[in-house]
Amino acid sequence: MRRKKNYFRQSAIANTASYWYYYDRLKELAISSFKWDNLPDTIDPRFLELTLFEDGQAIFFEDDVLGCLALQTATSGRFDVYRIPIIRRAYAANGYQRKLNNTDSVLIYNNYLHRNSIHVIQGFAYRLWNLDQVIDINANAQKTPILLIADEQERLSVLNLFKEYDGNAPVIFGDKKLNKEALQVLKTDAPYVADRIYQLKTEIWNEALTYLGISNLNMQKKERLVSDEVARSMGGTIASRYSRLEARREAVDKINEMFGLDIKVEFRDGDEMILGLNSQPESDELLTGGDEDE
């Protein structure tokens, strides 16, 4: 027996998939933004970044058996003069636990606020998902710009006709018994605004990239952009990455001093090289835009 089409269920599935699409994409960008060099083989940089993204902090220490580890942590107890917790507890999903303090471990923070990034990314994913729904509804309104009004007795017949219409049937056949007098069609005349909503969605996506410190050309200009203009437009993006990068670098300095290591961390970004921002051209170099005559 053919299963009845459930529009609400299909809409709910599509909405959920759209939200997780944007959340997963932004989360992947966030946890792959940093390059860790000279980490001990016993430390997984992916898990470290995932922990910082979700928890806002991780702990680095040396286990007598397993070697150096970077795990999730719960802090408690006294604070030092800079409000950094002295007593820490490292833990793992397999039940591993280790009580530590500020003399045998180093806390790694996600940013200078000592907060995670997950809630901000969830907010961006929600906004992008919401605009996707507006675009889909507006685009669909161009396909079905009508409202159907019918008597209760004619509802099933009208529903079947709409299914044919929604399914792009080339020809729709109506029963002779259909009461045409009881059936009304109202045109919604929905204006097409999907292109403007898509532009807004692009701006929000670029805002999310700026928050993550990932280079993006967040401007719309017909004329060409010179290198200085591109560099200035990147100012907010570059500034946004400092909080997360410097929080990691401060932790790395303490780890290297405490454990005699040579760990380094850098922001993984090659856009400056692509855009030529690392070199000073003899004259303003034309980078993007329209025709020279414009």
* Domains with residue ranges and CATH for the chain: 146-187 (3.30.1350)
Q: So what's the pLDDT on residue 280?
A: 39
What is the block-wise mean pLDDT of the chain (294 residues), using blocks of 10 residues? 53 77 96 96 97 98 97 91 95 96 97 96 96 87 65 66 61 57 60 90 94 74 52 74 95 98 89 41 41 45
Distance CA 162, CA 241 (A): 52
Q: What is the pTM of this model?
A: 0.75
pLDDT value at residue 288: 42
Amino acid in the structure at residue 277 = L
Rounded Cα gap, residues 232 and 279, in angstroms: 15
